[in-house]
Each structure stands twice: as C-alpha cells, then as structure tokens.
C-alpha cells in the first residue's frame, strides 16, 4: 500500500535550503508514486509564507519558489477541510497539518518536530522525521 503523508512546512523549507539531506531527497521524490502527499489550500499558503521569509535562507528567485509551490500542488492530492477540532496541539499551525493528515487519511506527518505532534496517534497518524520515513521506503541516505 502506498504511504499517504503530509509534509510539514519545516521539511519543505529545509529541502529547498540545501541540496543535501533527507528533506531534499524527499522533495525530489514528490510525484514519483513512492508516496502520496496530501495538501490543502491553507497548508500551501503556509508553505508560501515560510518559503518567502528572508530568514528562510532559501536561495531561489521568487519565480522558482512559485514553480515549486505549483508543483507541490499539482503533484499532491488536494484535501478540503470540512471540519475543525482545534485546538488539539499546542501550536495552531501544527493543528492545520494534523487536520490535513487526519482528513486525508494519511499514515504519517513528515516533520523535524515530532514532539510537536504528540497526540496525533489518536487520529491514526504518526509523526516521523524525513530520514525515518525514507528508510521506511527502503531508501538509504
């Protein structure tokens, strides 16, 4: 069965900041069929906000960032959110990610901040780092 995941914003930013590491490798696999990544409009806006902040240190022109966002949207399964149960987690932006994962029937949230998603298991979603997720696919770094 193909894993269904939500990419946390920190993974997307890290993957664009450097060509090395698990985040970049994971982004390179988006759209290949190794997994389904689920996205919502609100999550896409969160990605855009984080990617265009100067402190993100993403060395891409704005047109390239727009292309990445377009690709993430076109390659992902778009999920509308029909219900909200916030607050569940301490950070409202993490609740947004959890809502997409739960409503999109995802197995995992891929994040560097696994501690922020403690409690996601009660929705059938576990939080894993990019490296752990890639190893579960049989991909060595």
> How many CB atoms sit inside 10 A of residue 3's CB?
15
Do 102 and 125 form a contact (C-beta atoms < 8 A)?
A: yes
pLDDT per residue as tens digits for the range 32-78:
999 999 999 999 999 999 999 999 999 999 999 999 999 999 999 99
For residue 86, pLDDT over 70 is answered with no
pLDDT value for 140:
86
Q: Where are the domains of the chain?
A: 4-136
CATH number of 4-136: 3.40.50.1010
For residue 92, name the pLDDT band (cuts at 50, 70, 90): confident
What is the pTM (predicted TM-score) of this model?
0.94
């Amino acid at each position: 069965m193909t894993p269904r995941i939500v990419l946390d914003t920190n993974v997307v930013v890290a993957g664009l900041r450097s060509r090395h590491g698990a985040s970049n490798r994971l982004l390179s696999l988006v759209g290949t069929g190794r997994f389904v990544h689920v996205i919502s409009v609100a999550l896409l806006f969160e990605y855009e906000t984080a990617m265009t902040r100067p402190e993100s240190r993403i060395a891409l022109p704005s047109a390239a960032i727009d292309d990445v966002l377009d690709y993430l949207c076109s390659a992902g399964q778009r999920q509308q959110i029909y219900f909200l149960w916030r607050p569940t987690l301490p950070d409202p932006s993490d609740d947004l990610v959890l809502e997409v994962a739960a409503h999109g029937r995802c197995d995992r949230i891929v994040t560097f901040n696994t501690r922020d998603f403690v409690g996601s298991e009660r929705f059938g979603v576990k939080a894993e780092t990019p490296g752990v997720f890639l190893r579960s696919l049989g991909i060595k770094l």
